[in-house]
Amino acid sequence: MSPPAFAFMGRRSMSDLNRGSKNGGAVIRGARCAQRAGESAWYSIQIDSGRVSRVGGKVSPSSISQAGCVDIDLTGYLVLPGLVNAHDHLQFALYPRLGDPPYGNYVEWGEDIHRKFAGVIAMHHGVPKDVRLWWGGIRNLLCGVTTVCHHDPLWRVLQREDFLVRVVQQYGWGHSLALGGDLLKARKLMPCETPFIMHACEGVDARAERELHELSRLGVLDASTVLVHGLALDKAGIDLLQSRRVSLIVCPSSNDFLFKQLPLMNILGGIENLALGNDSPLTAEGDLLDEIRFAIRRCDIHPDRAYAMVTEAPAAALRLREREGTIGEAGVGDLIAVRDTGRSPADTLESLSMHNVEFVMIGGCVQLASEAVWERLASEARDGLEPLWIDGIVRWLRAPVEELLSQAETALGVGQVRLGGRAVRSADSHLREA
């Protein structure tokens, strides 16, 4: 299960990922829209060629028609920027949680699951990798993630224009000090200013504690470095990261499962670009929304900080250039919508689960719709969406759902597919049973 030692992922232009051109444009109206973690306002959002072209004011249906835009009335909803998931392993979306914790470090865990759960691993490897990666995209889309960073080789399917979420395309990476091969060589292969990502200090023993010193000795800690986990960091280690302007991604529920310890937010809070990732179902409690709730409730992270950790902070750490994680003119048209309860954007995010995400748009194109939102959509916005039943709800997704489910069931068994631990099945069969 260990990936190759290191890799460099090259840039693709935003036009290569332009989904909005399929519909020509869209106007979102009637909703309350997030401005910052604690601020919102009622305004319309116009998207042309995948980018936000206008924010504010009201737009009449006649002017929408004249502009050739898809009219989407989201009255009663709160619109938030699409979330940025800073750390995932997309190919493991269908796997169960594996392990017999607690462990001292990530190497112990990896060796243990290969020894104890070889049959489970082999069975899930029977699902073609392309199919597993698509399910990883679905897992993110369902919880409102529009951009995800995949910490493994950038498989060809993840570079396709029709992949259902944005996958960060430009970064360097090494798995970790123990499993990443020649990290310094990998680092030197990177163009200047490109983020370099690696697992570090993932554990609670002396081995995990020594990793930061070794990485510093190698000379791979600087403003382009993005570390993942950092559980074994102490105050001196945090001071070092701050002095080198290193970014950090934390995955608290994975740490809690594997090591029975949580990140110490009282010392991590000083890191400027501190982001949240949901890791994979092999170790995480759930998806990114589950991770947000876990972080707020178990790590005492303020909702405003948690909001930043899945929007602007990961965009800064990963050097994203298209205003991902915000809603603003000239930025990408990546939006999500949930029922409006009158709470602030950050307080709303604190209480959300996958069940609450009813609309996702990427580059001006509808990628997900609940049954209620589906009824509001024009036919051109519905075109290409397929229904999926998951954990008691139906979501319409821009993905080949039936084919993906069929291929997964061939390896795992009919009715045995779980996405991040949640049961999935054909929406058609569910409706027939109902």
306 dihedral zone (left: phi>0; alpha: psi -120 to 50; beta): alpha
Between CA 225 and CA 193 the distance in angstroms is 9
Q: Under a CB-based contact definition with an 8 Å cutoff, are residues 47 and 70 in contact? A: no
In the predicted structure, residue 413 carries a pLDDT above the cut 80: yes
The two structure tokens encoding residue 315: 């965009």
d(CA 325, CA 313): 9
Would you call 222 exposed, middle or buried from its count of C-beta atoms within 10 A (0-12, 13-18, 19+)? exposed
Question: Is 258 contained in some domain?
Answer: yes
- DSSP single-letter state for residue 55: E
| Whole-number Cα distances in Å, 186 to 8, 144, 334, 373 | 8, 32, 32, 46
pLDDT reported for residue 3: 35
Q: How far apart are CA 88 and CA 284, in angstroms?
A: 10
Would residue 174 count as lying in a domain?
A: yes
Is 42 domain-assigned?
no
**Residue 104 falls within a domain, yes or no?**
yes
Nearest 5°: CA angle at 329, between 323 and 330?
60
Per-residue pLDDT, averaged over 58-70, amounts to 65
The pLDDT score that the predictor gives to residue 10 is: 40
Q: Which residues contact residue 97 at a Cβ distance below 8 angstroms, ignoring those fewer than 6 apart?
A: 257, 281, 282, 283, 284, 421
pLDDT at 19 over 60: no
Q: Which pLDDT score is estimated for 106?
A: 96
Name the DSSP class of 21.
Answer: G
Helix axes 129-142, 401-412, angle to 10 degrees: 120
403 occurs within a structural domain: no
Which residues are within 8 A (CB) of 296 and not within 5 positions of it... i.e. 6 or more apart? 302, 303, 306, 350
pLDDT at 394: 97
pLDDT tens digits, 292-336: 999 999 999 999 999 999 999 999 999 999 999 999 999 999 999
Q: What is the pLDDT of residue 11?
A: 33
Model pLDDT for residues 357-384, shown as the tens digit of each residue: 999 999 999 999 999 999 999 999 999 9
Q: Looking at the predicted structure, is the pLDDT value of residue 16 above 60?
A: no
Beta strand pairing call for 335-339 and 77-81: antiparallel
The pLDDT, as a whole number, for residue 67 is 60
pLDDT above 80 (res 275): yes
Give the domain range for residue 207: 6-12+84-317
Q: Is residue 260 part of a domain?
A: yes
What pLDDT shows up at residue 62?
Answer: 57
Residue 69 has a pLDDT of 84
For the residues 18-27, what does the mean pLDDT come to? 58
What CATH number is associated with residue 235?
3.20.20.140
Task: For residue 195, give the nearest of 156, 249, 237, 235 by alpha carbon.
Answer: 249
For strands 45-48 and 51-55, give the pairing.
antiparallel
Q: How far apart are CA 410 and CA 405, in angstroms?
A: 9
Rounded (to 5) percent helix, strand, coil in the chain: 35, 25, 40
For residue 341, give both structure tokens. Answer: 């309860």
Type of residue found at 356 = N
Query: Measured between alpha carbons, how far is 115 from 215 in angstroms, rounded to an integer?
Result: 29
Is residue 237, in this structure, part of any structural domain at all?
yes
Strand, coil or helix: what is 422?
strand
Domain count, the chain: 1
Structural domain includes residue 431: no
